[in-house]
Structure 1
Amino acid sequence: MKKKVAVIHPEAGFSSSGGSQLSAYEMAEHLAEFFDVKLLSSSKCSEHSVVIPCIPRGKVKKLQRSKTMNWLLTRFVTNPSLLIEAITSFLTYTPYLMLKRFDVVYPNNDYGGLAVAAVIRKLFNTPILYTERAGMVSNGKVLRRNLKFKPDCLVVFNEGTKSYVHSIAPQQRVEVIPNGVNLEKFSPNGEKFDHGLSGKVVLTVGALNKQNHKRIHLAIDAVSRLDNVSLLICGDGPDIQFFHNLCEQKLGANRFKIVKVDFSDIPNVYRSVDMFTLPSKDEPFGRVYLEAMASGLPVVATDDAMRRALIGNAGIVCDVTNATEYSNAIAASLSKDWGSTPIEQSSGYSWERVAEQYADVIDTL
């Protein structure tokens, strides 16, 4: 009899704008080859979905677009969307897991899912598998908080994060497993997005929020220093008008476009450009770099250990805070024939290979 695995993410199916939502969906799809998998979410998104009502963070974020609602919701907490999702999902997901016994609980929605899993482990001794997707963002603040739940196995994306975990929790079991990419979906072959931009086109993808770690303003500045190069920004967020105004100021009206597309159309966007860049700080992993490389694009990114390992010879890492160095790297990337190198680099991160590593870990639990 196959082991029963509960994968948790209330936002899966409701939104595809975050890495954890997509990873939960992809993981459930590929782990189903090895186990009896149920994806607990607030929306139907696959044959493995079990729809359990709650208020996912995306619904709260939509309310926050109203200045009045945002003021009310943020009076007492800095991240009301995550808190409301955590509370409402705790009230509905916990009873379900008490009735439907699983062999492993795998939450993917930060402390909300971990709280549910902790209760189930307390009652039934059910082991917890958890992937820390925040990594060292905010100097490991989220990581340290989630370690308090003491998952039976913690998965991180690189050896540096593993070493940090062991420095503060020596007894914690930690495995290093990368994220995956859907190589069937992301490839150079297929339809292209009609962006209408001229010259060479650089793509960046990310939430348009001045407070996050994506630092898209650095990409805007770097591209503005190049001739006959346009910038396509794919994303949405509370500060979209700020980034629109910044692009108009730096690039002019005809050298940029900001678009929001359904996740199913994202592969077409990658195929429509010449290269990809994202100048994040402390990006925990960076699924978008894999998607870009699988689509045949070279990448220019922040020079850190994770990016050097992820990108390999399929792009250029540099000091993105140095505008001259960053723009020179983009220019060099656009002028080079990269051949099949980006595709070859991404091939080692297929979801099939990643799921096999997770299956091995689950078998030990």
Structure 2
Amino acid sequence: MFFQNKNKFLKKKKQKPKIALIHPAVGDSVGRSESLVLELAERLKDKCEVKILSSKKVNDLCTPISCVPRSQVLQELKYDKLRDFLSNFANRPEVFIEHLTSFFPVVWELFKGKYDVILPNNDWGGLMAASAVRTIKKTPIIFTEHSGLIEGGKNARRNLFFKPDKYVVYTNELKYWLKKYHPEVKTSFIPMGVNFNRFNPEIEPANINLSKPIFLASSVTAKNKRFDLLIEAVSLLEKGSVLLLCSGENSAELAKKGEKLLGKKRFKTTCVPNEQIPSYYKACDVFTLPSRSEPLGLVYLEAMACNKPVVAPKDCSRMDVICDAGILCDVTDVEEYAEALQKAAETDWGEIPYYQARKFSWEACADKYYEQIRDLMG
């Protein structure tokens, strides 16, 4: 009996772990959490049997599930009455509906798949589905917290309710918060990475017809990013232009404000395909994102990988990422923000931004996730 159990243990240890990465928005939108799923899957596929539960088939690792993806919901939310009604139930109705409609398809796939470890990456939606399966099949969960300490840790507290077996964070700020208020949680600190094949100083710059220096800001959505502060700050400078790569419900208002304060020769807002974004980083002089909260700020890393300095709000999470590769300031003080932007544009940064970004690699990130997977498998 002893030798039989030992042989089973050794066999399990040698076989490839079968893992499920949950994120219905993969293939539907591009963001920090979606990038993590795709980058991890690509780097773990030789060590693990990987499946991505997504709304669309981005690559051969994806298993499409039936749901109403957030982009489809956003199309419907153009109607004010519907948006106002759904906003009574959630801050982001499009994500709320995606969570609800994907729950049963995800649970069904997890039951069929016989996975060794489940990795939800779409906040409480995937975590709730994984928890339901764990109740019956005992499949362990590695959950990555993408919300950080938004709203004082409200989202983190909600997600902790599901008691994931491993709780992954990628900012020191959240790590220390958990240690202080939730010391019982098994926390793993795993910083995210940059794809240096896509983002690097050798990229050909995009052709941007704006006066120099160009201050670039990029985000999947314009909502809650406080781009109006950037426009106001640059309007105080004698020279310099703003380029916004974004979309969202208030992008039209931003365009109106930008053209009023800066004029068409110093302001532009547009959307570009994801594959073209690196060339826009390369073409700018300074990257900035004045958002109130960024749990990591992957866009900062991507800009620095293209050797561009960064100007950002001064807080713990951004200090960890940017260090000496830019300037941190109080962006709500428009004059201070303007001075920081001008100083960043006039400073010779050498290769400091690039080498700061090199500290964050997807290879190192994937290796640490693999250690967590193996640890859960005994």
Structure 2 length as normaliser, TM-score?
0.92
Partner of 1:252: 263
**1:172 is matched with which residue?**
185
Query: Which of 110, 115, 121 does residue 123 from structure 2 map onto?
Result: 110
Match of 1:363 in 2: 374
Tell me whether 1:285 sits opposite 2:299 in the alignment. Answer: no
Could you say if the C-alpha distance between residues 318 and 334 of structure 1 is closer, same or farther in structure 2, counting changes exceeding 3 Å?
A: same
1:174-189 correspondence runs (5 A): 174-189=187-202
Partners of 2:353 and 2:202 in 1: CA distance: 14
CA apart distance, 1:145? 0.7
Aligned residue identity for 1:179: M
Structure 2 residue aligned with 1:128: 141
The 10-residue stretch of structure 1 (257-266 or 69-78) with the greater mean CA deviation from structure 2: 69-78
Point out where structure 1 has 5 or more consecutive residues left out of the alignment: none
Q: Give the counterpart letter for 2:277 in structure 1.
A: I
Larger radius of gyration: 2
The amino acid of 2:350's aligned partner reads G
Q: What is the percent sequence identity of the aligned residues?
A: 40
- Between 215-224 and 256-265, report the one with greater CA deviation: 215-224
Residue 52 (str. 1) matches residue 65 (str. 2): yes
Q: Which moved more, 1:5-14 or 1:304-313?
A: 304-313
Q: Cα deviations across residues 297-325 of structure 1 (Å, max 9, x unaligned)?
A: 01111111111121111111111111121
**Equivalences, count:** 362
The amino acid across from 2:266 in the alignment is R
Amino acid at match of 2:229: L
Corresponding residue for 2:20? 6
Paired position in structure 2 for 1:205? 218
Deviates further, 263-272 or 163-172: 163-172
Q: Supply the RMSD in Å over aligned alpha carbons.
A: 1.5
Structure 1 segments of 4+ aligned residues over 6 angstroms from their partners: none
Alignment map for 1:298-313 (pairs within 5 Å): 298-313=309-324
Match of 2:240 in 1: 229
Out of 329, 353, 358, which is 1:342 matched to?
353
CA distance in 2, matches of 1:9, 1:188: 31
Given candidates 38, 43, 48, the residue that maps to 1:25 is 38
Moved more, 70-79 or 160-169: 70-79
Query: Structure 2 regions of 5+ residues with no counterpart?
Result: 1-14
Shift of 1:191: 2.7
1:167-186 deviations in Å (ceiling 9; x for gaps)? 33321101111111111100
The alignment's TM-score, normalised by the length of structure 1, stands at: 0.95
What amino acid sits opposite 1:45 in the alignment? V
Q: How far apart, in 2, do the equivalents of 1:272 and 1:193 lie? A: 6
Stretch deviating more after TM superposition (171-180 or 58-67) = 58-67
Report the Cα offset of residue 152 of structure 1: 0.6
Code of the aligned partner of 1:5 = I
1:171 and 1:307 mapped to 2: Cα distance? 26
SS of 2:66 mapped into structure 1: coil
Q: Deviations over 1:62-103 (max 9, x none)?
A: 221233442454355443212211111111111111011101
Task: Determine if contact 2:222/2:246 at 8 Å carries over to the other structure.
Answer: no
Give the residue type in structure 2 aligned to 1:247: G
Aligned residue number for residue 174 of structure 2: 161
Report the AA paired with residue 83 of structure 1.
Answer: F
Residues 156, 174 of structure 1: alpha-carbon distance in 2 compared, 3 angstrom cutoff: same
Aligned to 2:354, what secondary structure does the other structure show?
helix
